[in-house]
Structure 1
Amino acid sequence: MTKYNQTFKQQVVDFYFQHDESLSLTCRTFTVSKRTLRYWIAQYQHSGIKGLAVLHTKRTYTPEFKYHVIQTIQNRDMTADQACLQFGIANSGAISQWL
């Protein structure tokens, strides 16, 4: 089971935009970390409500895909979070394990 469902994520992101984009206020109100909130906001801005969907299937990635992601990160000076958004990877921790 996931820690946060899509409805909760949407509620938090909506609150953030309705309260002058106050990261601190939103994090205090909903007891989420700034890193988590920043990621949800980025997901929402990149993919809309679909970006906040909870993924229930464990994905496996081919070695070629992993290599492509790592090369893209290095060549474009991207963060793991940015690569997650670009490649549809649910968690930046997966990318960290590949490095």
Structure 2
Amino acid sequence: MTKYKSELKAQIVHEYLSTSQSTNDLSKKYQINGRRIAEWVQGYQLRGINALEKRRHKRIFTADFKLNVIDYYQTHEDSMAEVAARFNILTAQVSRWRSQFERDGIAALKPHPKGRPSKVKHTKKQARQLA
């Protein structure tokens, strides 16, 4: 379950854009962090109303996408938060991908297998032959 419904987000963003209230005023009124409200407004301005909707599935990012994000961050004068908002990702992801790329190169951006490696080294066919 999401913490804030998209209707509430849209209402707060609309209120911010249509009145002269600051994010601090809205933060006090709705008991929501002002930085979060600013993120909603920025996402709305960059991507429209879809930015306020809940994601329905886990996203998997390719190494090319990660490299494009890093390249955009390094070639433009946008902050990490602005780059994250533009690509609809978390600011921490931009930071982590950049540091991994600087430390280990492109190999660090490629997907890695999840979970514990198997202790058994032979295939099913080999196991049948052994039995």
TM range (shorter): 0.7 to 0.9
| 2:44 corresponds to 1:44 | yes
Equivalent pairs, count: 98
Gaps of 5+ in 1: none
TM-score by length of 1: 0.83
Matches of residues 54-93 of structure 1 in structure 2 within 5 Å?
54-89=54-89, 91-93=90-92
The residue number in structure 2 matching 1:4 is 4
RCO higher in structure (CA 8 A, sep ≥6): 1
Distance of 2:97 and 2:52 partners within structure 1 = 24
Q: Give the greater-gyration-radius structure (CA).
A: 2
The alignment partner of 2:38 has SS state of: helix
Q: Which amino acid aligns with 1:19?
A: T
The residue number in structure 2 matching 1:32 is 32
| 2:22 corresponds to 1:17 | no
The alignment partner of 1:27 has SS state of: helix
C-alpha RMSD of matched pairs (Å): 1.7
Distance of 1:65 and 1:18 partners within structure 2 = 35
Distance of 1:72 and 1:46 partners within structure 2 = 16
The residue number in structure 2 matching 1:95 is 94
Gaps of 5+ in 2: 99-131
Q: Which amino acid aligns with 1:17?
A: L
- What CA deviation, in whole Å up to 9, does each residue of 1:44-73 have, x standing for no partner? 112221221111211111122111211110
